């Protein structure tokens, strides 16, 4: 099943693709590799999920924020590439969690993103991944994720 069909089948609501908040491109394509800039958990109403996981947000709320980042990245990919069906596979993801100093469940939070990628792209959505904690993130967002994708030739 195509990624676009899977998105519809899962009844997933994508936010509007965010405009860059600085001097950068949301996606840079080199040959058949797409480098996606860091994205935050943008909600359909234009607001962001904010707060420190382990203090302001639970692990489960952080996981939901990571899933929302995934939806935001999908919106950007659809906008920039024209179709999610151009994605061959998710290669590498870097998940950054705005975490309280004693928080240690970063991988469980970033699973929200990873599970969404597998839901949409099947096994091609299972990527190499890093999940790390940060002392802060821009605008106090809960999670930021960047990703590298292989595109179909």
Could you tell me how far CA 79 lies from the centroid of its own chain?
Answer: 15
pLDDT tens-digit map of 114-137: 999 999 999 999 999 999 999 999
Reply yes or no on whether the pLDDT at 89 is more than 90: yes
pLDDT in tens, 18-36: 999 899 999 999 999 999 9
Give the pLDDT of residue 92. Answer: 98
Query: What pTM does this model have?
Result: 0.97
Whether 70 and 95 have beta carbons less than 8 Å apart is answered as no
pLDDT computed for residue 21 by the predictor = 86
Predicted confidence at residue 1, as pLDDT, reads: 80
The arithmetic mean of pLDDT across residues 47-68, rounded, is: 98
Q: Which domains does the chain have, with CATH numbers?
A: 3-16+26-151 (3.30.1330.40)
């Amino acid at each position: 099943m195509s990624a676009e069909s899977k998105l519809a089948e899962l009844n997933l609501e994508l936010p509007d693709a965010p405009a860059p908040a600085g001097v950068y491109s949301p996606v840079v394509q080199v040959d058949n590799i797409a480098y996606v800039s860091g994205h935050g958990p943008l909600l359909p109403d234009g607001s962001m999920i904010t707060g420190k996981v382990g203090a302001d947000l639970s692990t489960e709320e952080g996981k939901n924020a990571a899933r929302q980042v995934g939806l935001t990245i999908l919106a950007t990919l659809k906008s920039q590439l024209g179709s999610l069906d151009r994605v061959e596979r998710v290669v590498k993801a870097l998940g950054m969690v705005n975490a309280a100093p004693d928080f240690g469940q970063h991988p469980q939070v970033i699973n929200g993103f990873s599970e969404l990628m597998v839901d949409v792209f099947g096994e091609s959505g299972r990527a190499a991944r890093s999940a790390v904690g940060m002392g802060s993130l821009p605008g106090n967002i809960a999670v930021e994720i960047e990703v590298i994708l292989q595109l179909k030739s």
